[in-house]
Chain A
Protein backbone atom coordinates (compact mmCIF):
# COMPACT_ATOMS: atom_id res chain seq x y z
CA UNK A 1 0.00 0.00 0.00
CA UNK A 2 1.36 3.39 -0.89
CA UNK A 3 1.85 6.26 1.50
CA UNK A 4 -1.11 8.65 1.70
CA UNK A 5 0.02 11.22 4.25
CA UNK A 6 3.19 13.18 3.55
CA UNK A 7 5.44 15.82 5.03
CA UNK A 8 4.04 19.34 4.73
CA UNK A 9 5.79 21.87 2.52
CA UNK A 10 6.79 23.95 5.56
CA UNK A 11 8.36 21.07 7.47
CA UNK A 12 10.18 19.74 4.41
CA UNK A 13 11.55 23.22 3.71
CA UNK A 14 12.84 23.42 7.29
CA UNK A 15 14.66 20.15 6.63
CA UNK A 16 16.03 21.32 3.25
CA UNK A 17 17.31 24.61 4.64
CA UNK A 18 18.91 22.94 7.66
CA UNK A 19 16.70 24.49 10.32
CA UNK A 20 15.25 21.36 11.82
CA UNK A 21 16.81 20.16 15.07
CA UNK A 22 17.80 16.57 15.75
CA UNK A 23 14.62 15.20 17.33
CA UNK A 24 12.30 16.45 14.59
CA UNK A 25 14.81 15.47 11.91
CA UNK A 26 14.59 11.82 12.98
CA UNK A 27 10.90 11.71 12.08
CA UNK A 28 11.30 13.59 8.80
CA UNK A 29 14.39 11.61 7.69
CA UNK A 30 12.73 8.28 8.55
CA UNK A 31 9.66 9.17 6.48
CA UNK A 32 11.99 10.20 3.64
CA UNK A 33 13.62 6.75 3.80
CA UNK A 34 10.20 5.22 3.11
CA UNK A 35 8.86 7.82 0.67
CA UNK A 36 10.32 8.39 -2.83
CA UNK A 37 7.73 11.07 -3.51
CA UNK A 38 8.88 13.30 -0.63
CA UNK A 39 12.51 12.69 -1.63
CA UNK A 40 11.69 14.13 -5.06
CA UNK A 41 10.19 17.20 -3.44
CA UNK A 42 13.29 17.49 -1.27
CA UNK A 43 15.53 17.26 -4.37
CA UNK A 44 13.72 20.23 -5.94
CA UNK A 45 14.19 22.24 -2.75
CA UNK A 46 17.89 21.42 -2.62
CA UNK A 47 18.24 22.39 -6.28
CA UNK A 48 16.60 25.67 -5.36
CA UNK A 49 19.21 26.14 -2.63
CA UNK A 50 21.88 25.43 -5.23
CA UNK A 51 20.42 27.94 -7.65
CA UNK A 52 20.22 30.59 -4.92
CA UNK A 53 23.80 30.01 -3.80
CA UNK A 54 24.98 30.23 -7.43
CA UNK A 55 23.57 33.75 -7.77
CA UNK A 56 26.26 36.41 -8.13
CA UNK A 57 27.04 37.89 -4.73
CA UNK A 58 26.37 41.53 -4.01
CA UNK A 59 28.78 43.56 -6.13
CA UNK A 60 29.94 46.01 -3.50
CA UNK A 61 30.72 43.25 -1.09
CA UNK A 62 32.57 41.43 -3.86
CA UNK A 63 34.75 44.41 -4.66
CA UNK A 64 35.58 44.87 -1.02
CA UNK A 65 36.48 41.24 -0.62
CA UNK A 66 38.33 40.89 -3.95
CA UNK A 67 41.70 41.78 -2.45
CA UNK A 68 41.19 39.14 0.24
CA UNK A 69 40.31 36.47 -2.30
CA UNK A 70 43.93 35.64 -3.10
CA UNK A 71 44.88 35.48 0.56
CA UNK A 72 41.89 33.20 1.13
CA UNK A 73 42.99 30.91 -1.71
CA UNK A 74 46.57 30.82 -0.41
CA UNK A 75 45.43 29.75 3.04
CA UNK A 76 43.15 27.09 1.57
CA UNK A 77 45.99 25.81 -0.62
CA UNK A 78 48.20 25.36 2.44
CA UNK A 79 45.49 23.42 4.23
CA UNK A 80 45.07 21.20 1.20
CA UNK A 81 48.76 20.41 1.09
CA UNK A 82 48.56 19.35 4.72
CA UNK A 83 45.44 17.34 3.96
CA UNK A 84 47.00 15.22 1.19
CA UNK A 85 47.44 12.33 3.56
CA UNK A 86 43.72 12.28 4.27
CA UNK A 87 41.93 9.15 3.04
CA UNK A 88 38.53 10.29 1.86
CA UNK A 89 35.62 9.00 3.89
CA UNK A 90 37.51 6.36 5.82
CA UNK A 91 35.30 6.93 8.81
CA UNK A 92 31.80 5.59 8.41
CA UNK A 93 29.34 5.49 11.26
CA UNK A 94 28.40 2.05 12.51
CA UNK A 95 24.81 1.27 11.58
CA UNK A 96 22.57 -0.78 13.77
CA UNK A 97 21.90 -4.22 12.35
CA UNK A 98 18.98 -4.73 10.09
CA UNK A 99 16.72 -7.69 10.69
CA UNK A 100 18.22 -11.01 9.61
CA UNK A 101 15.44 -11.70 7.13
CA UNK A 102 15.89 -9.33 4.22
CA UNK A 103 12.81 -7.24 3.48
CA UNK A 104 11.59 -7.70 7.03
CA UNK A 105 13.31 -4.70 8.55
CA UNK A 106 10.65 -2.56 10.22
CA UNK A 107 12.71 0.39 11.43
CA UNK A 108 14.56 2.28 8.67
CA UNK A 109 17.64 4.43 9.22
CA UNK A 110 18.21 6.85 10.80
CA UNK A 111 15.67 5.62 13.37
CA UNK A 112 17.10 2.09 13.73
CA UNK A 113 20.47 3.37 14.93
CA UNK A 114 18.76 5.54 17.54
CA UNK A 115 16.79 2.54 18.79
CA UNK A 116 19.90 0.35 18.65
CA UNK A 117 18.32 -2.37 16.51
CA UNK A 118 15.09 -3.37 14.81
CA UNK A 119 11.70 -3.66 16.56
CA UNK A 120 12.40 -7.22 17.70
CA UNK A 121 15.17 -5.91 19.97
CA UNK A 122 13.12 -3.15 21.62
CA UNK A 123 12.77 -3.33 25.41
CA UNK A 124 9.27 -1.88 25.72
CA UNK A 125 8.24 -0.08 28.89
CA UNK A 126 4.59 -0.21 29.95
CA UNK A 127 2.54 2.98 29.75
CA UNK A 128 -0.61 1.43 31.17
CA UNK A 129 -3.80 0.28 29.44
CA UNK A 130 -1.80 -2.19 27.35
CA UNK A 131 0.30 0.51 25.66
CA UNK A 132 4.11 0.55 25.66
CA UNK A 133 6.79 3.04 24.79
CA UNK A 134 10.53 3.38 24.30
CA UNK A 135 12.01 6.82 24.98
CA UNK A 136 14.76 7.67 22.47
CA UNK A 137 17.67 9.73 23.66
CA UNK A 138 18.82 12.70 21.63
CA UNK A 139 20.83 15.88 22.30
CA UNK A 140 17.82 17.91 21.24
CA UNK A 141 16.36 19.84 24.15
CA UNK A 142 13.35 20.96 22.13
CA UNK A 143 11.89 17.58 21.31
CA UNK A 144 10.77 14.42 23.05
CA UNK A 145 11.25 11.38 20.82
CA UNK A 146 9.87 7.90 21.42
CA UNK A 147 8.46 4.77 19.92
CA UNK A 148 4.89 3.92 20.89
CA UNK A 149 3.20 0.54 20.73
CA UNK A 150 -0.55 0.87 20.85
CA UNK A 151 -2.70 -2.21 21.42
CA UNK A 152 -5.10 -2.99 18.58
CA UNK A 153 -8.35 -1.05 18.85
CA UNK A 154 -7.08 1.29 21.60
CA UNK A 155 -6.47 5.06 21.56
CA UNK A 156 -2.94 6.48 21.37
CA UNK A 157 -2.12 7.59 24.92
CA UNK A 158 -1.11 11.06 26.08
CA UNK A 159 -2.89 12.80 23.29
CA UNK A 160 -3.40 16.14 24.93
CA UNK A 161 -2.77 18.95 22.49
CA UNK A 162 0.12 20.79 23.92
CA UNK A 163 2.29 21.75 21.00
CA UNK A 164 3.72 20.41 17.80
CA UNK A 165 3.49 16.68 17.32
CA UNK A 166 4.80 14.45 14.52
CA UNK A 167 3.69 10.83 14.22
CA UNK A 168 5.14 8.30 11.78
CA UNK A 169 3.53 4.87 11.48
CA UNK A 170 6.02 1.98 11.29
CA UNK A 171 3.75 -1.03 11.54
CA UNK A 172 0.05 -1.67 11.94
CA UNK A 173 -2.17 1.37 11.46
CA UNK A 174 -4.39 3.86 13.23
CA UNK A 175 -7.49 5.80 12.38
CA UNK A 176 -7.84 9.48 13.07
CA UNK A 177 -11.37 10.50 12.26
CA UNK A 178 -11.95 9.35 8.69
CA UNK A 179 -8.24 9.10 7.88
CA UNK A 180 -6.29 5.86 7.96
CA UNK A 181 -2.58 6.02 8.73
CA UNK A 182 -0.49 2.96 7.82
CA UNK A 183 3.23 2.21 7.42
CA UNK A 184 5.10 5.31 6.26
CA UNK A 185 2.19 7.68 6.81
CA UNK A 186 3.12 10.90 8.54
CA UNK A 187 0.83 13.01 10.69
CA UNK A 188 1.57 16.57 11.74
CA UNK A 189 -0.56 18.04 14.48
CA UNK A 190 -0.49 21.09 16.71
CA UNK A 191 -2.62 22.39 19.53
CA UNK A 192 -5.18 23.72 17.08
CA UNK A 193 -6.00 20.30 15.69
CA UNK A 194 -8.53 18.21 17.55
CA UNK A 195 -7.68 14.61 16.94
CA UNK A 196 -7.71 11.24 18.58
CA UNK A 197 -5.81 8.46 16.85
CA UNK A 198 -7.08 4.93 17.54
CA UNK A 199 -5.11 1.80 16.60
CA UNK A 200 -6.86 -0.35 14.01
CA UNK A 201 -8.35 -3.65 15.23
CA UNK A 202 -6.40 -6.82 14.58
CA UNK A 203 -2.81 -5.59 14.97
CA UNK A 204 -0.80 -3.48 17.40
CA UNK A 205 0.34 -0.19 15.95
CA UNK A 206 3.97 0.86 16.31
CA UNK A 207 4.76 4.48 15.60
CA UNK A 208 7.39 7.10 16.17
CA UNK A 209 6.15 10.15 18.06
CA UNK A 210 8.03 13.43 18.33
CA UNK A 211 6.53 16.11 20.52
CA UNK A 212 7.63 19.38 22.11
CA UNK A 213 9.89 18.69 25.07
CA UNK A 214 8.00 18.59 28.41
CA UNK A 215 9.65 21.78 29.67
CA UNK A 216 7.79 23.71 27.01
CA UNK A 217 4.47 22.37 28.22
CA UNK A 218 4.68 24.61 31.27
CA UNK A 219 3.86 27.60 29.13
CA UNK A 220 0.70 25.82 28.12
CA UNK A 221 -0.76 26.16 31.60
CA UNK A 222 -4.11 27.16 30.23
CA UNK A 223 -4.36 23.88 28.37
CA UNK A 224 -3.43 21.89 31.44
CA UNK A 225 -6.98 22.31 32.71
CA UNK A 226 -8.29 20.59 29.63
CA UNK A 227 -8.92 16.90 30.09
CA UNK A 228 -5.96 14.84 28.98
CA UNK A 229 -7.19 11.93 26.99
CA UNK A 230 -6.07 8.39 27.44
CA UNK A 231 -3.78 8.41 30.48
Chain B
Protein backbone atom coordinates (compact mmCIF):
# COMPACT_ATOMS: atom_id res chain seq x y z
CA UNK B 1 0.00 0.00 0.00
CA UNK B 2 2.76 2.44 0.87
CA UNK B 3 6.11 2.74 -0.83
CA UNK B 4 9.23 1.68 1.06
CA UNK B 5 10.44 5.13 1.95
CA UNK B 6 7.04 6.09 3.27
CA UNK B 7 6.99 3.06 5.53
CA UNK B 8 10.39 3.95 6.86
CA UNK B 9 9.29 7.47 7.53
CA UNK B 10 6.34 6.14 9.47
CA UNK B 11 8.44 3.73 11.51
CA UNK B 12 10.74 6.54 12.58
CA UNK B 13 7.78 8.62 13.48
CA UNK B 14 6.40 5.89 15.76
CA UNK B 15 9.01 6.68 18.38
CA UNK B 16 7.79 10.22 18.56
CA UNK B 17 4.46 9.34 20.06
CA UNK B 18 2.10 12.07 18.92
CA UNK B 19 3.67 12.26 15.49
CA UNK B 20 1.97 9.06 14.39
CA UNK B 21 -1.45 10.38 15.16
CA UNK B 22 -2.05 11.65 11.67
CA UNK B 23 0.41 9.64 9.63
CA UNK B 24 -1.40 6.31 9.98
CA UNK B 25 -4.83 5.60 8.60
CA UNK B 26 -6.65 4.77 11.83
CA UNK B 27 -5.30 7.66 13.89
CA UNK B 28 -6.09 10.02 11.04
CA UNK B 29 -9.75 9.12 11.38
CA UNK B 30 -9.30 9.70 15.09
CA UNK B 31 -8.17 13.23 14.34
CA UNK B 32 -11.56 14.00 12.79
CA UNK B 33 -13.26 12.62 15.90
CA UNK B 34 -11.09 14.81 18.11
CA UNK B 35 -12.18 17.88 16.17
CA UNK B 36 -15.80 16.76 16.52
CA UNK B 37 -15.29 16.58 20.30
CA UNK B 38 -13.91 20.10 20.35
CA UNK B 39 -16.96 21.23 18.42
CA UNK B 40 -19.58 19.50 20.53
CA UNK B 41 -18.06 19.71 24.04
CA UNK B 42 -15.27 22.27 23.88
CA UNK B 43 -13.02 19.36 24.84
CA UNK B 44 -9.66 20.86 25.81
CA UNK B 45 -7.89 17.51 25.96
CA UNK B 46 -8.95 16.73 22.41
CA UNK B 47 -7.77 20.16 21.36
CA UNK B 48 -4.36 19.61 22.92
CA UNK B 49 -3.98 16.40 20.93
CA UNK B 50 -4.88 18.18 17.69
CA UNK B 51 -2.44 20.92 18.59
CA UNK B 52 0.40 18.47 19.36
CA UNK B 53 -0.18 16.73 16.02
CA UNK B 54 -0.72 19.73 13.74
CA UNK B 55 0.93 22.65 15.51
CA UNK B 56 4.48 21.81 14.39
CA UNK B 57 3.29 21.11 10.85
CA UNK B 58 1.33 24.32 10.54
CA UNK B 59 4.28 26.23 11.98
CA UNK B 60 6.58 24.65 9.39
CA UNK B 61 4.09 25.55 6.65
CA UNK B 62 4.00 29.18 7.80
CA UNK B 63 7.77 29.29 8.18
CA UNK B 64 8.32 28.38 4.53
CA UNK B 65 6.68 31.62 3.47
CA UNK B 66 7.21 34.13 6.28
CA UNK B 67 10.79 33.09 7.19
CA UNK B 68 10.46 34.55 10.67
CA UNK B 69 10.01 32.11 13.59
CA UNK B 70 7.98 34.53 15.67
CA UNK B 71 5.61 35.43 12.86
CA UNK B 72 5.28 31.74 11.96
CA UNK B 73 4.46 30.90 15.59
CA UNK B 74 1.85 33.66 15.67
CA UNK B 75 0.21 32.45 12.43
CA UNK B 76 0.24 28.87 13.73
CA UNK B 77 -1.48 29.97 16.94
CA UNK B 78 -4.05 31.94 14.94
CA UNK B 79 -4.70 28.82 12.86
CA UNK B 80 -5.24 26.70 15.97
CA UNK B 81 -7.50 29.34 17.50
CA UNK B 82 -9.60 29.19 14.35
CA UNK B 83 -9.70 25.38 14.57
CA UNK B 84 -11.03 25.80 18.11
CA UNK B 85 -13.63 28.39 17.15
CA UNK B 86 -14.89 26.66 14.02
CA UNK B 87 -14.69 23.03 15.18
CA UNK B 88 -18.49 22.81 15.34
CA UNK B 89 -18.68 23.52 11.60
CA UNK B 90 -16.44 20.55 10.83
CA UNK B 91 -18.35 17.47 9.64
CA UNK B 92 -16.66 14.54 11.37
CA UNK B 93 -18.41 11.93 9.22
CA UNK B 94 -17.27 13.32 5.92
CA UNK B 95 -14.53 15.62 7.10
CA UNK B 96 -10.91 15.40 6.23
CA UNK B 97 -9.12 16.95 9.21
CA UNK B 98 -5.86 17.68 7.39
CA UNK B 99 -7.62 19.33 4.44
CA UNK B 100 -9.76 21.41 6.75
CA UNK B 101 -6.75 22.61 8.75
CA UNK B 102 -4.82 23.27 5.54
CA UNK B 103 -7.55 25.57 4.19
CA UNK B 104 -7.68 27.46 7.50
CA UNK B 105 -3.90 27.90 7.53
CA UNK B 106 -3.82 28.91 3.85
CA UNK B 107 -6.58 31.48 4.31
CA UNK B 108 -4.72 32.96 7.28
CA UNK B 109 -1.60 33.25 5.18
CA UNK B 110 -3.62 35.23 2.66
CA UNK B 111 -5.48 37.39 5.22
CA UNK B 112 -2.71 38.08 7.72
CA UNK B 113 0.51 37.68 5.83
CA UNK B 114 -0.37 38.79 2.32
CA UNK B 115 -3.00 41.18 3.69
CA UNK B 116 -5.01 40.58 0.58
CA UNK B 117 -8.79 40.45 0.30
CA UNK B 118 -9.99 36.94 -0.34
CA UNK B 119 -13.17 36.96 -2.47
CA UNK B 120 -14.72 33.50 -2.50
CA UNK B 121 -17.84 31.80 -3.83
CA UNK B 122 -20.81 31.36 -1.50
CA UNK B 123 -22.77 28.06 -1.59
CA UNK B 124 -25.81 29.86 -0.10
CA UNK B 125 -25.95 32.40 -2.93
CA UNK B 126 -29.07 32.00 -5.14
CA UNK B 127 -26.86 32.24 -8.24
CA UNK B 128 -24.57 29.44 -7.03
CA UNK B 129 -24.86 26.34 -9.24
CA UNK B 130 -24.89 23.22 -7.04
CA UNK B 131 -23.30 19.95 -8.08
CA UNK B 132 -25.68 17.40 -9.59
CA UNK B 133 -24.06 14.94 -7.20
CA UNK B 134 -25.30 16.25 -3.86
CA UNK B 135 -22.39 14.81 -1.87
CA UNK B 136 -19.74 16.53 -3.98
CA UNK B 137 -20.31 19.98 -2.55
CA UNK B 138 -19.80 18.86 1.00
CA UNK B 139 -16.31 20.00 0.21
CA UNK B 140 -14.21 17.72 2.39
CA UNK B 141 -14.07 14.30 0.84
CA UNK B 142 -14.55 10.98 2.55
CA UNK B 143 -11.86 9.57 4.79
CA UNK B 144 -11.42 6.81 2.32
CA UNK B 145 -10.41 9.39 -0.27
CA UNK B 146 -7.94 10.84 2.19
CA UNK B 147 -6.19 7.51 2.60
CA UNK B 148 -6.07 6.89 -1.14
CA UNK B 149 -4.72 10.35 -1.81
CA UNK B 150 -1.94 9.88 0.74
CA UNK B 151 -0.95 6.63 -0.91
CA UNK B 152 -1.01 8.20 -4.37
CA UNK B 153 1.13 11.12 -3.20
CA UNK B 154 3.74 8.71 -1.88
CA UNK B 155 3.85 7.06 -5.27
CA UNK B 156 4.20 10.20 -7.36
CA UNK B 157 7.56 10.53 -9.13
CA UNK B 158 9.83 12.65 -6.89
CA UNK B 159 10.08 15.43 -9.49
CA UNK B 160 6.28 15.84 -9.54
CA UNK B 161 6.09 15.81 -5.74
CA UNK B 162 8.79 18.44 -5.49
CA UNK B 163 6.74 20.77 -7.70
CA UNK B 164 3.64 20.33 -5.52
CA UNK B 165 5.70 20.97 -2.41
CA UNK B 166 7.07 24.23 -3.85
CA UNK B 167 3.65 25.37 -5.03
CA UNK B 168 1.83 24.66 -1.76
CA UNK B 169 4.49 25.56 0.80
CA UNK B 170 6.54 28.29 -0.84
CA UNK B 171 3.69 29.70 -2.92
CA UNK B 172 6.13 29.61 -5.78
CA UNK B 173 4.59 30.59 -9.09
CA UNK B 174 5.08 28.33 -12.06
CA UNK B 175 7.76 30.59 -13.48
CA UNK B 176 9.54 30.79 -10.10
CA UNK B 177 9.49 27.01 -9.89
CA UNK B 178 10.90 26.80 -13.40
CA UNK B 179 13.70 29.18 -12.48
CA UNK B 180 14.50 27.43 -9.20
CA UNK B 181 14.61 23.96 -10.67
CA UNK B 182 16.20 25.16 -13.90
CA UNK B 183 13.42 23.66 -16.00
CA UNK B 184 11.53 25.05 -18.99
CA UNK B 185 8.19 26.59 -17.96
CA UNK B 186 6.36 24.14 -20.23
CA UNK B 187 7.90 21.19 -18.36
CA UNK B 188 6.76 22.60 -15.01
CA UNK B 189 3.23 23.05 -16.31
CA UNK B 190 3.02 19.59 -17.83
CA UNK B 191 4.42 17.92 -14.69
CA UNK B 192 1.84 19.67 -12.54
CA UNK B 193 -0.89 18.53 -14.91
CA UNK B 194 0.45 14.97 -14.83
CA UNK B 195 0.55 15.01 -11.03
CA UNK B 196 -3.06 16.12 -10.68
CA UNK B 197 -4.28 13.80 -13.43
CA UNK B 198 -2.79 10.96 -11.44
CA UNK B 199 -4.19 12.14 -8.11
CA UNK B 200 -7.65 12.64 -9.63
CA UNK B 201 -7.52 9.20 -11.22
CA UNK B 202 -6.82 7.72 -7.78
CA UNK B 203 -9.98 9.31 -6.48
CA UNK B 204 -12.08 7.92 -9.33
CA UNK B 205 -11.61 10.79 -11.78
CA UNK B 206 -14.16 13.11 -10.29
CA UNK B 207 -13.91 15.90 -12.82
Are the C-beta atoms of B116 and A46 separated by less than 8 Å? no
Residues of B within 8 A of A17 (CB): 106, 167-168, 171
Q: How far is the CA of A108 from the CA of B127 in the complex (A)?
A: 5
Q: How far is the CA of A83 from the CA of B97 in the complex (A)?
A: 23
Are the C-beta atoms of B129 and A33 separated by less than 8 Å? yes
Q: How far is the CA of A55 from the CA of B88 in the complex (A)?
A: 25
CB distance from A184 to the nearest CB of B (A): 8
A-facing mask of B102-132, CB < 8 A → 1, else 0? 1101110110001011111110011111111
CB distance from B130 to the nearest CB of A (A): 7
A127 is an interface residue with CB less than 8 A from chain B = no
Q: How far is the CA of A79 from the CA of B101 in the complex (A)?
A: 19
CB distance from A173 to the nearest CB of B (A): 17
Residues of B within 8 A of A4 (CB): none
Are the C-beta atoms of B119 and A114 separated by less than 8 Å? yes
A-facing mask of B140-162, CB < 8 A → 1, else 0? 11000110011001000000000
- Of the candidates A43, A46, A49, A69, the one whose C-beta lies within 8 Å of that of B52 is A69
A193 is an interface residue with CB less than 8 A from chain B = no
Residues of A within 8 A of B61 (CB): 53
Which of under 10, 10 to 19, 20 to 34, or 35 or more describes the interface residues of A?
35 or more
A131 is an interface residue with CB less than 8 A from chain B = no
A94 is an interface residue with CB less than 8 A from chain B = no
Taking CB atoms and an 8 Å cut-off, the chain A residues in 10-39 that contact chain B are 10, 13-14, 17-19, 21-22, 25-26, 29-30, 32-39
Are the C-beta atoms of A83 and B81 separated by less than 8 Å? yes
B203 is an interface residue with CB less than 8 A from chain A = yes
Residues of B within 8 A of A225 (CB): none
Residues of B within 8 A of A77 (CB): 44
Q: How far is the CA of A184 from the CA of B200 in the complex (A)?
A: 23
Given the interface contacts A22-B117, A34-B129, A83-B85, does A13 sit within 8 Å of B171 by beta carbon? no
Given the interface contacts A21-B116, A49-B103, A56-B23, does A40 sit within 8 Å of B206 by beta carbon? yes
Taking CB atoms and an 8 Å cut-off, the chain A residues in 102-135 that contact chain B are 102-103, 105-110, 112-114
B46 is an interface residue with CB less than 8 A from chain A = no
A-facing mask of B64-106, CB < 8 A → 1, else 0? 0000000001001100110011101100000011111111011
CB distance from A122 to the nearest CB of B (A): 15
- Of the candidates B19, B97, B110, the one whose C-beta lies within 8 Å of that of A18 is B110
Interface of B is mostly: helix
- Of the candidates B60, B130, B164, the one whose C-beta lies within 8 Å of that of A58 is B60
A194 is an interface residue with CB less than 8 A from chain B = no
Q: How far is the CA of A95 from the CA of B119 in the complex (A)?
A: 12
Are the C-beta atoms of B116 and A30 separated by less than 8 Å? no
A88 is an interface residue with CB less than 8 A from chain B = yes
CB distance from B76 to the nearest CB of A (A): 8
Are the C-beta atoms of A80 and B81 separated by less than 8 Å? yes
Could you list 21 examples of A-B contacts with CB < 8 Å? A9-B192, A26-B119, A34-B129, A36-B133, A37-B207, A40-B207, A47-B141, A47-B146, A52-B102, A55-B57, A56-B12, A56-B23, A65-B56, A73-B51, A80-B47, A80-B84, A83-B81, A86-B85, A105-B126, A110-B122, A139-B116
Q: What residues make up the interface of B, taking CB atoms closer than 8 Å to A? A: 9, 12-13, 16, 19, 22-23, 28, 44, 47-48, 51-52, 54-61, 73, 76-77, 80-81, 84-86, 88-89, 96-103, 105-107, 109-110, 114, 116-122, 125-133, 136-137, 139-141, 145-146, 149-150, 153, 164-165, 167-169, 171, 173-174, 189, 192-193, 196, 199-200, 203, 206-207
Beyond the given A52-B168, A53-B58, A61-B60, could you list 16 further A-B residue pairs with CB under 8 A, ordered by the A residue number? Answer: A9-B193, A13-B192, A33-B125, A34-B129, A36-B137, A43-B141, A47-B149, A48-B153, A49-B103, A50-B98, A52-B169, A53-B101, A54-B28, A77-B44, A105-B125, A109-B128
